[in-house]
Amino acid sequence: MSAVATPPTQIAEFRNESYADFNDPKIAEAMRAALAKVHSELGKEYELLIAGELRHSHDKLKSVNPSRTAEVVGIHQKGSEQDARDAVEKAWSYFPTWSAVPMEQRAQMLFRAAEILRRRRFEFDAWLVFEAGKTWAETEPETAEAIDFCEYYARQAMQLAHPDPVVQLPGEQDEMVYLPLGVGVVIPPWNFPLAILAGMTVAALVTGNTVIIKPSSETPTIAAKFVEVLLEAGFPPQSFSLLTGSGTAIGDTLVSHPKTRFVSFTGSRDVGLHINELAAKTPKGQIWIKRVVAEMGGKDAIIVDREANLDQAVMGVLYSAFGYQGQKCSACSRAIVDGAIYDEFLDRLKTKVAELKVGPADEKNSYMGPVISARAKQSILEYIETGKKEGRLIAGGETADGDGYFIKPTVIADVDSKARIFQEEIFGPVLAVTKAKDFDHALELANDSEYGLTGSVFTNNNQNVEKAKRQFFVGNLYINRKCTGAMVGAHPFGGFNMSGTDSKAGGPDYLLQFVQAKSIARKVS
């Protein structure tokens, strides 16, 4: 066996997928046609898919259009504990077959999946509109990101199959290879039901693992549609399962099963901690320590220094706080502003917030659509009421008109760092603004959080930039730009502390979490 790695097949260098421009009348018309097509398909029923076997259940799960809550998007099965056990067992049985498929062949399936997503991009955009409540402007970055994950991880997998050689001792052939782990449980969130679902799933599959996909109950139809992509791309039906249903009914069964090798999760802190705790237990028959890859949210801050470009900072905060209704783990929910420019910043921000249009996500001119559910809406409104007592309401603070879960973009100023709306993740269109004495104080306030996902600094002071690089404790730091919109390859994504395991999705280290390294030494003399 040669100690020199064989180079992977030549493929084009990775480039991020460009976004469709809806200002182009032809592209806008194509999107409207996709919306009409998808709307005609609302209300269909979808089965469980367990290693290629379709199953029905007596109890059903319905996802609704959060812009028009009387519309049912999809009817899905509520999987049982037995369904969950069967899914793990079948995945375990097929793992030896799937793991033996050469990495290059699995990577080619990812390239095909990317092509299928490109062909169906406006259709997936439309499903994101109707089931996730994403506006037109928010759909394209997500579909493009799903394509990017397929393209990027395919290339990373081919490199992983041919790693750099290790040091060669005299008289030996020494190498290190990477082996897939086994059966994985993939639990994606509702807020990026295509991109994060795709990224987590294909990363596990391309490295030779078999997976059970447990989508959010808010957005299961998008998961069912992505399964169509996997099958068309050539992934064997036995290599994955789609298991819909409540997390309490089947989630614990999937996580605690002794043949589950790893869990890949994106969602709330509390659920992530529960998964981590459950996975840490070793039931009888389990011969490994389960691996948990978790991204668990944030309470992200943007610092606006007195030496910032104020217009640039206002727009950065605006887009970070209210894009997708603030329902991003990377969203800015705290603006920490130097006292020297505090009042002027608030005046400019208030003017810009008033210009934001809230409306149904399928209407092209809506900047903000609905929040995801009635429960989310109620929780956000309760936080707003708390915020009115903890600070000074300067914008929003109430529901918006319409048949969906609409809330006006809300800004609450003069918020103390010990306030609930400063410390707790709200996951909605609510921004707390806090005054800082100087840049050092702003950093202190920004770090006063149990989370550490994203953050931004707006400043033209290079010394403060360098200080932020060292002392702003987040996994993804941005300078003079918004704190949302991480790009695959350029901004490996994942945070510190209660934001998760700093998994760095879309980065060169991500696939290593789904493999285990094996060192091999062969004596040759």
CATH code at 160? 3.40.605.10
pLDDT classification of 467: cutoffs 50, 70, 90:
very high
The two most distant CA atoms of the chain are separated, in Å, by: 80
Q: Are residues 435 and 511 in the same domain?
A: no
Supply the range of the domain harboring residue 268: 25-296+503-523
Paired tokens of 344: 């002027």
Q: Cite the DSSP H helix spans in 355-415.
A: 374-390
| pLDDT for position 249 | 85
Q: How confident is the model at residue 4 (pLDDT cuts 50, 70, 90)?
A: very low
pLDDT at residue 372 tops 50: yes
Catalytically annotated residues:
295, 329
- Residues 273-282 have a mean pLDDT of 97
pLDDT score recorded for residue 7: 43
Distances (CA, A) of 476 to 147, 415, 520: 22, 24, 36
Cα→Cα distances 292→3, 434, 505, 514, Å: 32, 35, 14, 10
* Same domain, yes or no: 337 and 200: no
229 occurs within a structural domain: yes
Task: Identify the pLDDT of residue 1.
Answer: 31
Same domain, 156 and 203: yes
The count of structural domains within the chain is 2
Tell me whether residue 4 is in a domain. Answer: no
What is the overall mean pLDDT for the chain?
Answer: 96
Tell me the residue type at 394: I
Clarify whether residues 260 and 326 are in a common domain.
Answer: no
* Identity of the residue numbered 298: G
Tell me, yes or no, whether 11 lies in a domain.
Answer: no
Q: What is the pLDDT of residue 5?
A: 40
Span 80-95, average pLDDT: 98
pLDDT band at 3 (very low <50, low <70, confident <90, very high): very low
The pLDDT tens digits for 445-465 are: 999 999 999 999 999 999 999
| pLDDT-derived band at 2, boundaries 50, 70, 90 | very low
Distance separating alpha carbons of residues 415 and 388, to the nearest angstrom: 10
Residues 8-24 have a mean pLDDT of: 90
Q: Which of 331, 499, 348 is nearest to 431 (CA)?
A: 331
Q: Which residues are 44's β-sheet partners?
A: 74
**Of residues 7 and 347, more confidently modeled:** 347
Alpha carbons 445 and 44: distance in angstroms, whole number: 49
Which residues are paired to 335 by β-bridges?
302, 433
For the record, the structure tokens of 203 come out as 């990363």
Q: Are residues 155 and 243 in the same domain?
A: yes
CB-based contact 70:158 (threshold 8 Å): no
Q: Is the pLDDT of residue 317 over 50?
A: yes
pLDDT at 6: 41
pLDDT at 58 over 80: yes
| The pairing of beta strand 53-55 with beta strand 48-50 | antiparallel
Mean pLDDT of the region 214-222: 98
**Per-residue pLDDT for 393 more than 90?**
yes
Q: Taking residues 194-198, what's their average pLDDT?
A: 98
pLDDT at 525: 76
Residues 468 and 511 in one domain: no
Pure H helices in 193-325: 195-206, 220-233, 252-256, 269-280, 310-322
Residue (of 207, 237, 191, 240) closest to 92 by Cα position = 240
For residue 367, what is the domain's CATH number? 3.40.309.10
DSSP H helices in 12-120 = 25-40, 81-99, 103-119
Kindly tell me the sign of the dihedral angle through the C-alpha atoms of 295, 297, 298, 302: positive
| Cβ burial, residue 318 (10 Å; 0-12/13-18/19+) | buried
Q: What number of other Cβ atoms are within 10 A of residue 341's Cβ?
A: 17
Residue 19 maps to a domain: no
pLDDT of res. 247: 87
pLDDT at position 386, please? 98
* 123 within some domain: yes
pLDDT of 8 over the 80 cut: no
Same domain, 223 and 323: no
The per-residue pLDDT for 246 is 87
What pLDDT does residue 482 have?
A: 98
Spatial neighbors of 281 by CB under 8 A, at least 6 apart, are 256
| 492 falls within a domain | no
Do 94 and 161 share a structural domain?
A: yes
pLDDT in the model for residue 207? 98
CA distances from 390 to 94, 287, 422 (A): 55, 51, 9
Q: Is residue 8 part of a domain?
A: no
- Clarify whether residues 381 and 250 are in a common domain: no
Q: What global pTM score does this model have? A: 0.97
Helix or strand or coil: residue 315?
A: helix
Same domain, 454 and 306: yes
Strands (E), 244-346: 260-266, 291-295, 300-304, 332-338
pLDDT in tens, 100-131: 999 999 999 999 999 999 999 999 999 999 99
Asked if 158 contacts 104 with a C-beta cutoff of 8 angstroms, the reply is: yes
Distance from C-alpha of 50 to C-alpha of 239, rounded to nearest angstrom: 10
d(CA 427, CA 479): 23
One domain, residues 31 and 120? yes
Residues 492, 336 contacting (CB under 8 angstroms): no
In a domain, 91, yes or no: yes
What per-residue confidence (pLDDT) applies to 326? 98
**What pLDDT does residue 9 have?**
54
SS (H, E, C) 171-205: CEEEEEEEEECCEEEEECCCCCCCHHHHHHHHHHH
343/424 same-domain check:
yes
Q: What are phi and psi of 499, to 5 degrees?
A: -85, 0
Q: Which of 478, 473, 472, 474 is nearest to 491 (CA)?
A: 478
